[in-house]
Amino acid sequence: MMVSVPIPSTKYLTLEIYYIQYSLDKDGKYDNFRFPVKLKETDRVWDLRHKIEKMYGIEKSSTLITHVQDNMLKRIYNCSTTIKEVSSQNGVILMFETPSELKP
């Protein structure tokens, strides 16, 4: 008897994320920037937050990850949303820094 088992393939997605600062930097300017993050399509926003903290030093609990389309905020992503779902949306991904006063 022979059984065929499919070999799972891992698909990776690269997200372009725009980081929007809440506070000014030491020169009194905003330092907003765009950066790429490569993740598996089965990863979740929780994994995205951890990878961003590891790669760019942005604290995972100090941001709000959103979907913006046609100058309108369409969705705020929670930690259980899959990366595949995030990448399938039209528009851009904005990651807003939250005020330090709101941190628990």
Tell me, what CATH number does 41's domain have? 3.10.20.90
The answer to whether the CB of 87 falls within 8 A of the CB of 17 is no
Residues 34-43 have pLDDT tens digits of 999 999 999 9
Cα–Cα distance measured from residue 83 to residue 39, given in angstroms and rounded to the nearest whole number: 7
Q: What is the pLDDT of residue 29?
A: 79
If one counts the domains in the chain, the total is 1
53: in domain:
yes
The answer to whether the CB of 15 falls within 8 A of the CB of 48 is yes
Q: What's the whole-model pTM score?
A: 0.80
Q: What is the pLDDT of residue 104?
A: 65
Cα–Cα distance measured from residue 58 to residue 82, given in angstroms and rounded to the nearest whole number: 20
Residues 15-67 have pLDDT tens digits of 999 999 887 777 877 788 899 999 999 999 999 999 999 998 988 888 899 99
For residue 62, the 8-state DSSP code is G
7: in domain:
no
